[in-house]
């Protein structure tokens, strides 16, 4: 893996709104591979901070994020917003 790809993966892994699925789709790296790259690239304290941050984020997993968003939007509200009352 070249440095440009590694830097892009590191940047995307730190972003709150970028899911592991998006990283896998773009680079072919599953969650375990991303974790391995982060562990190798960051200082131990930085890696622990990142893991705590990622573990508390529903947005890092597409299924969890989409399920949570659907939960938060009642169907009546969705109808009002879309204009299909």
Q: What is the pLDDT of residue 17?
A: 83
User: pLDDT digit string (tens) for 19-54?
Assistant: 889 999 999 999 999 999 999 999 999 999 999 888
Domain total in the chain: 1
User: pLDDT digit string (tens) for 62-72?
Assistant: 665 566 556 55
Asked if 25 and 43 count as a contact pair (C-beta separation under 8 A), the reply is: no
Question: Which domain range does residue 70 map to?
Answer: 3-82
User: pLDDT digit string (tens) for 50-64?
Assistant: 998 888 766 666 665
Helices (H), ranges, 1-74: 3-14, 20-27, 31-41, 44-55, 62-72
Q: What is the pLDDT of residue 34?
A: 95
Q: Which residue has the higher pLDDT, 14 or 16?
A: 14
């Amino acid at each position: 893996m070249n440095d440009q790809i590694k830097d892009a993966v590191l940047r995307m892994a730190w972003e709150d709104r970028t899911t592991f699925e998006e990283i896998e789709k773009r680079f072919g790296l599953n969650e375990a591979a991303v974790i391995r790259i982060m562990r190798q690239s960051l200082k131990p304290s930085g890696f622990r901070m990142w893991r705590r941050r990622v573990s508390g984020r529903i947005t890092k997993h597409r299924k969890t994020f989409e399920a949570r968003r659907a939960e938060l939007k009642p169907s009546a509200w969705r109808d009002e917003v879309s204009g299909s009352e």
